[in-house]
Structure 1
């Protein structure tokens, strides 16, 4: 006889009581903020420039909080895992001289695997580098933002996120925009090193919430502003509006599926997300993050 999976259903209004019963605090009817965890990785990189590079990387994961409790998701829903990189000591791969610039033309990929109750699955995150001027590769920190593809953690249980190999494609340029060629690097770490960014708990539960927005996109951008748009549809109750977040902080409540954010800094990288709010103040899970870079002044 087939054994049926035991699940329970939580509505938006009963979620707060579940959190309290679990000993977790809850505020308004909004979703829990993503829990940040990090691991330091020491990579040895083979570069197209010739020398071998010792690279220190902080891998910072924004693990989803889509269930009842930190770093939890429903087994029946997809989830997004954000990940950022803080790369240090890019020497001697870069021809620094009087200083070079790296920006979104430079990219990276990070291999990873999830180990859980259904075995091991591999995944890969793609990154774009934030605009960075480098004058000293010893002290300069190059940052990049990315995300793993949507994950369905179909079997309830704990899933550990392990970091694997890193690949870089760097396209440095001079201050006047003159390109300095392309440098690639293939990086591996000591397999004995701790490589777990964090653990995600897949729960045998359904969470009845408004449908999360999707297709978040940039409509237009200036050096100090950006106009975002997204797609969304209503749930059981009519939609009241949308909370828009930039780099984890709330910036605006929009009543339409589009908004303009002003007062930003030129030549900076950001991650935006949107949450649907219905007329009963139930909140959806956050949309997939959108990473964008504003133009130079």
Structure 2
């Protein structure tokens, strides 16, 4: 017979006073985990490619402790790819460029107390120049679809096969067609990206912002907006994070970030703060790439 979990209710401020969570007045950063996957890829260009991928996941830290989430809340899992040695699959010939037109998808399984479910993370490739004499790492940013881990307990996130759709181009923008790759790994290889602890607890705090989106970009700036809902206390404003670092605090549901580097990929997140300084969990990440100068 399955154990029954009795939910209990806490507030962010009471957690801070009790010392249950360190620094909980601010949003908890996602716990970073990583696993190395060695893939054998069949490509549309002909050659079979041996590819190494570091899969880096940002597990939720929204509950009472690392890698945790309240079972009434959603679990947001960021994931990045660090792909090594794509040259054999591409018509390099002196150098080609990959950017956000190139994509990847990563299959995964979530194994928990309510059984096994499948999911798939979608990625966009960061701008990368690949030459025939350079062992360049190709990086991609993405996320798994929102998960609801409603049965309290531990959930293992295990990664599986990888597919690529690469669209190389010359430096002048001339497209070189699409190269696809279907990649499988040794089933005996460790595939555990991390474990999420779903807790029977209700944490009272502001509602996290939703639907972050890009309004406009220039080679060195971006304007973002998002949706937000009030809770018990009035909202003071919103903390904006870029690539894991705090950028600014704004009072409106929009921000313009300047001084950025052209042709670079970023992930932005938003946090609501109320007049008592209580903060929400972080929004879902928004991935975008600035245009070339």
Common topology (TM > 0.5): yes
Q: Is the 8 A contact 1:75 1:203 kept in 2?
A: yes
Q: CA deviation at 1:3?
A: 8.5
1:255 matched to which residue of 2? 251
Q: CA deviation at 1:138?
A: 5.8
The CA distance in 1 between the partners of 2:86 and 2:208, in whole Å, is 39
1:106 matched to which residue of 2? 102
Tell me, what secondary structure is at the counterpart of 1:164?
Answer: strand
Q: Output one character per residue of 1:48-82: Cα deviation in whole Å (capped at 9) or x when no partner.
A: 00111000000000001010100100011112100
Q: Is the 8 A contact 1:89 1:137 kept in 2?
A: no
The CA distance in 2 between the partners of 1:137 and 1:270, in whole Å, is 27
Structure 2 residue 12 is the aligned partner of structure 1 residue 7? no
Tell me the TM-score normalized by structure 1: 0.96
Structure 2 residue 288 is the aligned partner of structure 1 residue 289? no
Q: CA deviation at 1:27?
A: 2.2
The CA distance in 2 between the partners of 1:134 and 1:3, in whole Å, is 54
The CA distance in 2 between the partners of 1:63 and 1:135, in whole Å, is 34
From 225, 230, 234, the counterpart of 2:226: 230
The CA distance in 1 between the partners of 2:257 and 2:42, in whole Å, is 41
Q: Output one character per residue of 1:94-129: Cα deviation in whole Å (capped at 9) or x when no partner.
A: 111110000000000000011111111110000000
Alpha-carbon spacing, 1:3–1:197, altered in 2? closer, same or farther (3 Å): closer
Q: How do 1:175-190 residues align onto structure 2 when only pairs under 5 Å count?
A: 175-190=171-186
Q: How do 1:101-140 residues align onto structure 2 when only pairs under 5 Å count?
A: 101-136=97-132, 139-140=135-136
Q: CA deviation at 1:30?
A: 0.8
Q: CA deviation at 1:14?
A: 1.2
Tell me, what secondary structure is at the counterpart of 1:79?
Answer: coil
The CA distance in 1 between the partners of 2:260 and 2:163, in whole Å, is 31
Structure 2 residue 79 is the aligned partner of structure 1 residue 79? no
Tell me, what secondary structure is at the counterpart of 2:89?
Answer: coil
The CA distance in 1 between the partners of 2:270 and 2:279, in whole Å, is 10
Tell me the TM-score normalized by structure 2: 0.97
Q: Is the 8 A contact 2:94 2:132 kept in 1?
A: no
CA RMSD of aligned residues (A): 1.4
Q: How do 1:1-297 residues align onto structure 2 when only pairs under 5 Å count?
A: 5-17=5-17, 20-21=19-20, 26-27=22-23, 29-136=25-132, 139-297=135-293
The CA distance in 1 between the partners of 2:9 and 2:160, in whole Å, is 36
Q: Output one character per residue of 1:184-220: Cα deviation in whole Å (capped at 9) or x when no partner.
A: 0000000000000111100010111100001101111
The CA distance in 1 between the partners of 2:90 and 2:141, in whole Å, is 20
Q: CA deviation at 1:282?
A: 0.7
Counting matched residue pairs gives 292
Runs (4+) of structure 1 moved beyond 2 Å? Answer: 2-5
The CA distance in 2 between the partners of 1:87 and 1:254, in whole Å, is 36
Where structure 1 has 5 or more consecutive residues not aligned to the other structure, the ranges are none
The CA distance in 1 between the partners of 2:3 and 2:39, in whole Å, is 45
